[in-house]
Structure 1
Amino acid sequence: MSEPIQPPARAWLRSFNRTQAILLGFVLVLTGAMLWISAVILTDRALDRLRDRAEVRSTLYANSIESVLTTYTVASALLAQDRLLPNLLAGGADEQAQLTLGGLQSSIGAPSISLYTATGTLIADTQPEGQEVAHALAPYFQLALEQDISIFATVAVSETEQRFFFARRVQQSGTILGVVILEVDLASIQRQWVATPDEVFVTNADDLILLSSQPDWRYRSLTPFLDPLAVQLGARFTLLPMLSLEPTQAGPRVAINEQAFLRIDRAIDFRNWTVTYLAPEEEALANVSAVLAIEVMALSLLLAGGLFVISRRTARKSLQIQRESEELRALNARLSSEIEERMRVEQSLQAAEESLEQSSKLAALGQMSAAISHELNQPLAAMKTYLAGAQLLMQRNRPTEALTSFQRIDDLITRMGTITRQLKSFARKGGEGASRFDIRSSITNALAIMAPQLGQTRVEIRRREPDEPVMVRADAMRIEQVFINLLRNALDATRATPEPWIEVEVFTGPQLVRVQFHDNGPGFEGPAGALFEPFFTTKAPGEGVGLGLAISSGIVRDMGGSLTARNATAGGAVFEISLPHADVADLGESDNE
């Protein structure tokens, strides 16, 4: 009896295989990545446009402030030179002086003008009634008498209002007659700011807000500490809350009351004032969100259309699936036999894995044997040379010199025993047997051991090292082993060079000691890191197993240093050993204790 036909949606879900799931996941991930990239690009462009607009607006605001201050600076200087003021100062306070000063105020367009004698007596004042400021008692009045420049002053008349003045002395024929004080009309600019939706304020050199489009920001401090200027202005200013300008991320962005702004600062060429323009990011990001919403809707429509097409195809296939169900039942029997066969294959696979594990052990044993063979070849070759020399010396009846060769053979035997013990460095941490020694002596010992091989070639050994000892803390025997390996490699590399040379140079610094082995061979090909991989070699078969540099790199790393390689610009290869200076190593050990 055949199974009932299922609804298309359920049939589509049941037929949803792993490949389709992976494909759908890939599409979703790709869609998310596209939306994320689009959001990043749109956000950057929106912020760039916002920043450009903010740059223009901040420049306009800064220019308007500079224009007013420059105009009033020039006006104060010209007013102090007016020929009417000496006559007013000589005649004393009267109604005519008040009218004359009022006429000057109208021609300049200043909010007020005040005229005082040098002793502080008020001659005339155009300040509105009830808003008079006693300038004669202020510090800037005395400064105006002492200096022939326009003295700028800020006078706080309340906690949310301040007035600005220029004071300039009036003199005639070198005699100081008095002081004229011209009020600067910055309040009108501030009123224009309040009427706009922009967020802008002006701070002085002590980060105190003098002008602002937000009335409650005035007289707030941008610094998180008590401002000395605030103490001078009065204790009431030190109690005002500070305006929080916390950076939200890298870049000129700030957060005020949990709202993000782009911050643009423009310096004003006046007493280190700064105009700060805050451009809200909310509007720019809202446009980005709208574009992203359109993209999401378009992608959703595409996805819905794709799912609709798939569901229609699945509905057509559902009938075919029902017809094929009988064939699937027939396959169950064969599937059972295949399962049994699979179990037998798994058993065979398990046996193969055990055999592979045993082969891996044998490979590790072979690797260790090759390492021992590589490290012992050099002392054995040297011993053979010294033994042949000793026999020749004995035949020539020169036993004393022969004893020297035998002593060197004994030293090499000791070194061979040390090398076999040091092969354990691949499985343990380094640092054992470390002591302070002069690295120049290790170079000398390595050259002495390699003397027989070097003597058989025309290679020139060049040594460059400081005259004073170069102390390191390491295992001297293992460092000599590294030097021997590098000398042997350099000797092999220069075998076909017409005029071979090997340069050994020592550099010392406050932190590291570096030893370079430079040859004029052909250099090496491929990445330098591959040279230090076990069994990697550029030599011909039978000339090396590719363990020398791997062992040397492990030894130097155990000593807290590094071994690097590079091709020299002028040709040849350069191998550099870096080891901590003995003083640095001793300091590190004392810190660990």
Structure 2
Amino acid sequence: MHRFLPATSFPRSLARTLTRSLAGGPADRAWAVFAAVAALLVTIALVAAGVYGRSSALSALEAQGLTDANIKVSLLQAVLERPRAVPLLLSLDRDVQDALSQPTAENRERLDRKLEQIVQGASASVIYVTDASGLAIASSNWQQPDSFVGSNYAFRPYFTRGIADGKAEHFALGSVSKRPGLYISHRVGDASDPQGVVVVKMEFDGLERDWAAAGRPVFVVDDNDVVLISSIPSWRFMTTRPLPADSLTAIRESLQFGNAPLVPLPIAERRTVGPDSAIITAALPGGGSADYLRILVPAASTPWRLGYLVPLQPTVAAAVREARMMALLALAPLLAAAALWLRRRQLALAAIAAAEEARSVLERRVEERTADLTHARDRLQAEIAEHRSTETRLQAVQQELVQANRLAILGQVAAGVAHEINQPVATIRAYADNAKVFLARQQAGTAVENLEQIAGLTERIGAITDDLKALARRGRAGAEPVGLREVIEGAVELLRSRFAGSLEALRIDPAAHRFVVLGNRLRLEQVFINLFQNALEAVAGRPDPVVAVSMQAIDGMVVVSVADNGPGIAPQVMGELFSPFNSSKEKGLGLGLVISKDIVTDYGGRIEVRTGPDGTCFAVHLKPAGDSA
């Protein structure tokens, strides 16, 4: 028995091999390495983008923060410059000098009223004048309950430095009003004979409100790092660093800030960014801790510094997100290209592996087939030797074995093959001879057409063999729509070589062109070859031979009639017409009509015969295909 692989086993085995190679094999490891490298690259890109985004955001915030802080310093200077000129001008005023040199009630009242008028246009809180001992003799708030008139300010640095240096500025908490402000003073008279001091107190409530409305913390510290002005009221008189003990004692004894605790601000510096900036964590009133960029810039013409806090989280987070998104957008095409390259490489390797597997399978099948053929050849040679040794004995008992059922069937099949393939073989021989002639004439195109006809006839011989097998099995082949025109033309073509010069007796009804029946073209051609051959042989030698082929639709069937004007069929033959080995011909085998009847029956039809002295008519009934009838 030959050991052939099934037709579908090869691609299935190849698919299983590829599946095994990709499942848990190098391909999985390659993708695992690719995924690990891709994850590492994405992580590095995200980290680097985060660092870059944070750095760029900090640089942008620092630049913008310095700009905003300098604007606020300029505004602070503008607020300070206007009242600074007032003490100087008043120190030269005649009314001030008269009130100090001649401290009468009239002079003092006139000065009080003058100061009351001036304070409204000087952007100052209070303007007052002290004598050389520090006693306030006149004030713009002389009519208010908290009037400064009569209070002694000799302990204040703005008085002592004003007497000694001619002018002074000092920020302190008012001893009477308990409100913080900047005291600007100027001496009246010469240093050798000072008469008193003119003092302008400036408060920053409006400026603090403007800063608070901006939403970002702003504060001003003095040279001791004490907060003087702030957009957050609770930060006033707190410090940016813990004060040394001696400085803290001196400030408390001077009553500069009253009883303020002077504790450090709720700010923790994390790292320095630039010479004027640092990242801090600050706790604002009513909220949690947050990170800020602190900008410190000096306030010109003062020993103060302005601090400006810029929130970090929104801007830095947005910059980091944008940088990471850009990094991912830049990295994604690279990773996609790498994945595509890896996939194409794996497909190429898989194709190579599949080709190698296919070659191995093919070699194995060739080896198996070669071994099977060798064994078959050996067995055949042994059988031939045995057949030759018994040939003489078989001839002696041939008639008895013919009667045996098994050899009768073998004889029928062999006879059927000889009978049915006689016409195709004869036609093949004719086409082959013609091809030789055309090749000799160098008419290659016509020779190729003959060879194509020979190839088609070999297929017909295969179909005839299948029909003989079907005859033995009584099986039924599948039916399909077939045009009667092609069937009849094919049958005539096969008869042309044998009945050359006699086919003029064959008269075919043109109506065949419009009929389509159910069947198989090759098998139906076999039927009409038998019928046409029998009819042409029946009219051979007659002076007016006629074989008429007609078609018509009757009772839902297509009836093809083959009528000849021969002598008719003998009664003894007519009774066994469709039985095997029943023939009126000297060399006939009596199988043609048997096979034809079986073919027509397979497709749901039948064959009817009418005969007489004037000829015989075979009527083939076939099922129509659709509405062909």
Please report the TM-score for the alignment, with normalisation by the length of structure 1: 0.47
Q: TM-score, normalised by structure 2?
A: 0.44
Larger Rg: 2
